[in-house]
Amino acid sequence: MARRERPSSTVLRLSIAVLAPAWIAACGGSSKDEQGGTQPVEEENWQPLLSGDWTLPQGTEGYTCVRQTVTEDLYVKAFDAINPLGTHHTLLTMGEPNAPDGVTLCNAGENRFLSAFGSGVGSNPLHFPPGVALRIPAGTQLLLNLHLFNTGTGDLSGTSGTRIQTMPAQEVTSIAEGILAGTIAISIPPGETRVTTGYCTMSNDATVFAVAPHMHVLGVYEKVVAESAAHGEVTLFDDAYDFNEQSYYPVEPLALAKGDRIRVECTHRNDTTKTVTFGESTLSEMCFAGLYRYPADGSVFICVDRGQ
């Protein structure tokens, strides 16, 4: 994957709230503000997990990383993104501590192997089925990678991050994990509309319960299909794609066996004068579907079959 350094003129200020003792009224959803960003919709029982304040100069694109080590086991039953105008996407991964907690400049490739939550422009809250939770063990370091893009004519500032809802350990019946299925083999000639297909083979028996299509601004349609030995082809998502409305879609829990595949078909329409290929930049393209499944088996969150 491309590794892009954020401009050195970017100003950062740490703003982390990790498991505040009191519950807060916070982002239960996202509503558009006057500039096309999102603002919190008040709802009880959301906790701030971590966030980073940033300022990005006009016409620039870059990355901010926020690290925080948790001090108690967390069982998360719902995630929500704090993603104001300028937030291209957020990716929350986790692992053993590998750097001091705090906010730093970083690049697109600075992530850990296990995914907790990701978001794009306009993402909605993700709620798990009853009894299902994503576990964040005590001592785990969270790494929130913020991809920021300022297309305006002046400096842009904001606070981007993640909020959660938790449940008691004794109420958990299954531990979930997030994976990203698709392909990086993308090449769209100028003036063409092209379908790119990627695959993810299930590493173990698992039940899929949510899907989130992800492309960039040239994406116009996405289809996500489970290829199951027991059930045949089951469509998880089949609809037009809007970069500004990147949502999570719950699906009827579908039991898949080890070796079953997820097929991701992405339609891009290239109205530019250049060939567009895979990349982290908003001006490049992607073909992925975020998936949540249980039980977790600790797989690396990028699931791209060899040759894709």
Q: Where are the domains of the chain?
A: 11-174, 179-303
**One fold for both 11-174 and 179-303?**
yes
Q: What is the pLDDT along the chain (308 residues), one digit of tens a residue?
A: 333 333 333 333 333 333 332 222 222 344 444 334 444 444 568 999 999 999 899 999 999 999 999 999 999 999 999 988 888 889 999 999 999 999 999 998 899 999 999 988 888 999 999 999 999 999 999 999 999 999 888 999 999 999 999 999 999 999 999 999 999 999 999 999 999 999 999 999 999 999 999 999 999 999 999 999 999 999 999 999 999 888 999 999 999 999 999 999 999 999 999 999 999 888 899 999 999 999 999 999 999 997 66
Looking at residue 288, its pLDDT comes to 97
Q: How far is Cα 184 from Cα 172, in angstroms, rounded to an integer?
A: 35
- CATH number for the domain whose boundaries are 179-303: 2.60.120.230
Q: Is the pTM of this model over 0.85?
A: no
Q: How far is Cα 278 from Cα 192, in angstroms, rounded to an integer?
A: 16
Encoded tokens for 185 = 């083999």
Which has the closest alpha carbon to 189: 102, 274, 307? 274
Contact 141, 69 (CB under 8 A): yes
Q: How far is Cα 76 from Cα 23, in angstroms, rounded to an integer?
A: 14
- Which conformational region is residue 77 in: left (phi greater than 0), alpha (psi within -120 to 50 degrees), or beta? alpha
Give the CATH fold of the 11-174 domain: Jelly Rolls (2.60.120)
For residue 107, give the H/E element and its range.
Answer: none
Q: How far is Cα 303 from Cα 301, in angstroms, rounded to an integer?
A: 6
